[in-house]
A = this chain, B = another copy of it.
Amino acid sequence: MSTAKDSSTEEKILQAAEQEFIEKGLSGARMQQIADKAGINKALLHYYYRSKDKLFEVIFKTAFQAFFPKFKRIINDDIDLFDKIRGFVNEYITLILKNPNIPIFILHELNSNPDRLSIFFSQINIALQPLKLHINKEVEAGNIRPIEAETLIINIIALCVFPVIAKPIVKVVLFNNDLEAYNLMIEKRKTEVAEFVINSIKIN
């Protein structure tokens, strides 16, 4: 509590850095800007984090992690596949809406440096395994149309993520720049995406 080191400074730095990096990307972000947003100066920034790269690494890791652990709970539940999809879509879109700029940030930074992903590889791999197995089981049992587990997973995530990362285009082009209409559409997708997917794979 009453320590000499004021931990709120570090917290302010991280918040400011996250905002700056996610908005501008690694190359566009400025240490001066981060210092200003945190209400300190550049020297102190370097005192806490040696370099811009080190600071970025921390932010990227945090941002990335925030988007995957959530997978586990729903995915591993031993429930009906359709309900699993419904639960996942609803929770995932909700999660994305809390940090709508993180997905494009991650994809952009991974695009210019794919190696950043390697640290997370096994973590995600393990998290998705049960879902893959579940899908394959349902296909083999003839309960859903034949589909590769990987394909179904990609499709679900694409339908959740894309409308948010393409917001500047979607809002303007499909909703005449009407923010309310755009937001309502995203909100409805929390349930509609799952039904769209389920309609496609269910057997009549």
| Residues of chain A at the chain B interface (Cβ within 8 Å) | 23-28, 101, 104, 107-108, 110-112, 114, 117-118, 121, 124-125, 128, 145, 147-148, 150-151, 153-155, 157-159, 161-163, 165-170, 172-175, 185, 189, 192, 196-197, 199-201, 204
Query: Is B172 within 8 A of A163, CB to CB?
Result: no
Q: Residues of B contacting A185 with CB < 8 Å?
A: 148, 150-151, 154
Query: Is B23 within 8 A of A25, CB to CB?
Result: no
Query: Is B157 within 8 A of A110, CB to CB?
Result: no
Q: Give the secondary structure class of A's interface.
A: helix
Expressed in whole angstroms, the minimum distance between the Cβ of A180 and any Cβ of chain B is: 14
Expressed in whole angstroms, the minimum distance between the Cβ of A119 and any Cβ of chain B is: 11
Query: Is A165 within 8 A of B107, CB to CB?
Result: yes
Query: Is A155 within 8 A of B150, CB to CB?
Result: no
A-B contact pairs, 16 of them (CB 8 A): A25-B27, A26-B28, A101-B111, A107-B165, A110-B168, A110-B169, A111-B165, A117-B172, A118-B172, A151-B185, A154-B185, A157-B162, A161-B162, A161-B166, A197-B200, A199-B199
Expressed in whole angstroms, the minimum distance between the Cβ of A123 and any Cβ of chain B is: 10
